[in-house]
Amino acid sequence: MNGVKVIQINESVFAQNDRSAEIIRSRLSAQGTLFLNFMSSPGSGKTTTLVALINRLKNRLSIGEMDVDIESSLDAQRVADLTGIRSMQIHNGGLCHIDADMTARALLEYDTQGLDLLILENIGNLVCPAEFDTGAHKNVTILSVPEGDDKPLKYPLMYTVSDVVLINKMDTLDYFDFNIEKAKAHILELNPKAIFFPISAKTGAGLDAFCDWIVEELRTLRSGGR
């Protein structure tokens, strides 16, 4: 078949997405930009966590943020207003997730050259975003205390694909029936390599340890450790 290019069109949506995700990941690895994908249910404190995190890290790292929402631009605006970094809002037109091709399209309009850290705030949803690799190096999922320690049992795929779980709203632990050891055990059953950081985005407790983890991940990325 000299000179004939074969294009496979019958692969699954997921296989195609995985390939696009690998391309994004390789490109960002090559330029030394760590890409983190933040997921959670609505109201678990994603935006508040990101604002607190960026404000802690912005003097050490050059950071960019992309925010996916159905139709509002509230979150990207809030991040830009409260941190001063460059933030981009992606409207995904009512979809319940963002996939690698959507991320790739966003990256055409968002210059990531020179960034140490690229953050994606995914749609607030524990089902669909778990199914699509976005091209991020690591998935970070936020589980907040008021949601309950049984959420990993009910949305298992999300916790299977999470590298890091931030247990947020730790300052409200006294008001809810939330057993942190139980939550961790459920998650470790799905994903024995999961790493945990109990935090309060509101008070700032626990965030420094997570910042150190990010800086260490970036160092590993740049030393070719992935």
- What residues make contact with a second copy under the rule CB under 8 A? 41-44, 69-72, 74-75, 94-96, 123-128, 131, 144, 146-148, 150-151, 153-157, 169, 172, 175-176
Smallest separation, CB 113 to a second copy (Å): 31
What's the closest the beta carbon of residue 114 comes to a second copy, in angstroms?
Answer: 31
Query: Which CB sits closer to a second copy, 55 or 172?
Result: 172
Q: Are 131 and 122 in contact (CB under 8 A)?
A: no
Task: Tell me the C-alpha distance between 189 and 62, whole Å.
Answer: 36
Q: SS in 3 state form for 204-226?
A: CCCHHHHHHHHHHHHHHHHCCCC
Would you say 146 or 196 has its CB closer to a second copy? Answer: 146
The residue among 156 and 213 lying less far from a second copy, judged by its C-beta, is 156
Residue 26 corresponds to which tokens in the numbers above?
């390789």
Residue 124 carries which side chain, given as an amino acid letter? G
Residue 54 vs 158, nearer CB to a second copy = 158
> Which token pair is 196?
């945990």
Task: Report the residue number, 61 or 157, with the smaller CB distance to a second copy.
Answer: 157
Nearest approach, Cβ of residue 119 and a second copy (Å): 18
What percent of the residues of the chain are helix, what percent strand, and what percent coil, each to the nearest 5?
Answer: 45, 20, 35
CB of 183 to a second copy, least distance (A): 11
Residue pair 121/85 in contact by the 8 Å Cβ criterion:
no
Minimal distance, residue 37 CB to a second copy, in Å:
17
User: For the chain, first and last CA: distance in Å?
Assistant: 36
Q: Report the DSSP beta bridge partners of residue 65.
A: 87, 119
